[in-house]
Amino acid sequence: MTQLEYKLHIDSIIERVEKARLGVGMNGHHIVKIVAVSKYSTSEEIKALYEIGQRAFGENKVQDLAKKAEELDELPLEWHFIGNLQKNKINQLIKINPFLFQSLDSLDLALELDKRLEAHGSKMEALLQINSAYEETKSGVMPEAAIDTYNEIASTCKNIHLKGVMSIGAHTDDKDIVKKSFETTHDIYTKLDGATICSMGMSGDFELAISCGSNMVRIGSLMFNK
């Protein structure tokens, strides 16, 4: 694929996002940010997408994020960490200082992260991950506990700045079930004081997620044409 063909391919994805965004019916005020999930892509592939105009990239392993951030240090990229964070990787993530930690999945992790941030004299912006699909294979707080957990983190973890919520749609071909999981997350989002980010939707369901109120989508394979 030539650079021009790749640019047209990316433009077609942006057009799909725009169409879904405008369909929300908020007079164009519903802005949606695309995070390109680069976990299966090389630094060269990230650079190629950067040259087309993409700036936000997401990684789900701390070691991969560290490696790519170092290799692409000369580029003004916006790194998002979107994977499960093990406590023994917290210090490494703090050192990388990502733009946004999207997958803060428990109060326990928040308390440990806050303690380490305090020791490093650092701050971190984060999203609370919600398991709105009620799936054992997914991380995140259960919807019933999400608001209380969010507020407790916001009030007790002074070095973590919560910006909103993140969730992964239900793993099923039944769109009604996927939609319900997105609606559950968005309903929680609307009840959180000061929240500005509702991160929902991936390559296979981002249009549905946007229709349910998502303002940040995490698109991987489509963005890298894989």
Joined together, the tokens standing for residue 17 give 């996002």
Each residue's pLDDT tens digit, 109-141: 999 999 999 999 999 999 999 999 999 889 999
**Cβ-count burial 158-182 (b if 16+ within 10 Å, e if not):** ebbebbbbbbbbbeeeeeeebbbbb
Domain positions in the chain are 3-219
Q: What is the pTM of this model?
A: 0.95
Three-state DSSP class for 141? strand
**Residue 225 pLDDT:** 74
The low-confidence residues of the chain, meaning pLDDT below 50, are: none
- The CATH-assigned architecture of domain 3-219 is Alpha-Beta Barrel (3.20)
pLDDT at 23: 86
Tell me the sheet residues that pair with 216: 33, 199
Q: Which residue has the tokens 């919560």?
A: 162
pLDDT at 27: 54
Tell me what pLDDT residue 26 has.
60
Dihedral (CA of 214, 215, 217, 223) sign: positive
Exposure pattern of 139-149 as b/e (b: 16+ CB <10 Å)? Answer: bbbebeebbeb
